[in-house]
């Protein structure tokens, strides 16, 4: 079981490394969107500190959305996906591997770059740590839920926009708890409660989403 997952992760990472430009563009998208906010709102540190968690999280949601349409599309085009669906091992495991690989190339870099952007918003070092932790904990859920949307919209016209319509409302709990964790730290309440709920969301969606995505893929491949 673990072998299948690691094999898929390894393969997808190798493919992603051949297209590093995609990863880098998504990261720059994140950086640019976050940097635009102070220009739109004004540079008052108090205001920025208050807005930082929400701005960083919304930008993170959008940045993970960018790479989602590619999640299954390439494998679908060259027929790999159909082979995987016909293979004896459950498709849900394959999707689990793909979700983890997606997180490694989209969520993880965001978590690494977020503290740097947090400094722009004058966040305290404690808040920066919580921010990084929250993005680390929350983005796997985004990849998982996003995989369902990617599978449902596989091969459709205007799939990218449709995907965001389907997936963004489902991201709301992650946004609330993720931004809430940083918010609570900034206001001195402590973000542990939020972080544990975020972890619960991530585990639930990693357990549930790959199988729902596998079902959606089978529908799309029929």
Partner 1 sequence: MKDRFNFYRFASPATFYPLAGALIPFFVAISVLFGLAGLYLGMLVAPTDFQQGEGYRIIFIHVPASWMSMFIYLVMAFWAAIGLAFNTRLSGMMAQALAPTGALMAFISLWTGALWGKPMWGAWWVWDARLTSELILLFLYIGYMALTAAIDDARRADKAGGLLLLVGVVNVPIIYFSVKWWNTLHQGSSVNLAKSSMAQTMLWGMLLMAMCFWMYSIAVALMRVRTIMLERERNTDWVKAVLEGEGK
Comparing CB distances to partner 1, the nearer of 48 and 198 is: 198
Residue 133-172 contact track with partner 1, rule CB under 8 A, x = bound = ---------------x---xx--xxxx--x--xx-xxx-x
Place of tokens 């997952």: 5
The residue among 129, 110, 109 whose CA lies nearest residue 119 is 129
How far apart (Å, rounded) are the C-alpha atoms in residues 204 and 25?
A: 30
Comparing CB distances to partner 1, the nearer of 105 and 140 is: 140
How far apart (Å, rounded) are the C-alpha atoms in residues 3 and 174?
A: 30
- Total residues binding partner 1 (CB under 8 A): 28
Interface residue with partner 1 among 7, 23, 33, 176 (CB under 8 A) is 176
Q: How far is the CB of 132 from partner 1 (least distance, A)?
A: 21
Neighbours of 208 (CB within 10 A): 14
Q: Are 127 and 185 in contact (CB under 8 A)?
A: yes
Query: In this chain, which stretch among 37-45, 89-97, 130-138, 213-221 interacts with partner 1, using CB under 8 A?
Result: 213-221
Neighbours of 27 (CB within 10 A): 18
Q: 70 to 109, contacts with partner 1 by CB under 8 A?
A: none
The residue among 123, 22, 11, 5 whose CA lies nearest residue 70 is 22
With 0-12 / 13-18 / 19 or more C-beta atoms within 10 angstroms meaning exposed / middle / buried, residue 45 is exposed
- 219 in contact with partner 1 (CB under 8 A): yes
Structure-block tokens of residue 192: 């542990």
- 216 in contact with partner 1 (CB under 8 A): yes
Q: How far is the CB of 72 from partner 1 (least distance, A)?
A: 13
Comparing CB distances to partner 1, the nearer of 115 and 173 is: 173
Residues near partner 1 (CB under 8 A): 148, 152-153, 156-159, 162, 165-166, 168-170, 172-173, 176-177, 180, 183-184, 201, 208, 212, 215-216, 219-220, 222
């Amino acid at each position: 079981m673990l072998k299948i997952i690691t094999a898929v992760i390894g393969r997808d990472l190798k493919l992603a490394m051949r297209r590093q430009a995609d990863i880098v563009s998504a990261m720059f998208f994140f950086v640019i969107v976050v940097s635009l906010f102070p220009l739109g709102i004004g540079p008052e540190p108090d205001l920025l500190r208050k807005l930082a968690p929400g701005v960083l999280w919304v930008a993170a949601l959008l940045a993970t959305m960018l790479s989602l349409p590619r999640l299954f599309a390439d494998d679908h085009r060259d027929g790999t996906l159909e082979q995987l669906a016909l293979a004896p091992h459950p498709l849900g495991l394959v999707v689990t591997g793909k979700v983890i690989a997606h997180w490694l190339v989209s969520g993880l870099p965001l978590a690494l770059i977020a503290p740097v952007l947090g400094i722009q918003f004058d966040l305290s070092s404690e808040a920066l740590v919580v921010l990084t932790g929250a993005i680390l904990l929350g983005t796997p859920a985004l990849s998982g839920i996003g995989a369902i949307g990617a599978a449902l919209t596989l091969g459709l016209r205007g799939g990218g926009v449709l995907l965001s319509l389907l997936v963004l409302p489902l991201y709301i709990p992650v946004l609330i708890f993720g931004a809430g964790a940083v918010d609570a730290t900034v206001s001195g309440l402590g973000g542990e409660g939020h972080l544990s709920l975020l972890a619960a969301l991530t585990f639930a969606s990693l357990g549930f989403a790959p199988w729902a995505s596998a079902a959606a893929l089978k529908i799309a491949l029929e």
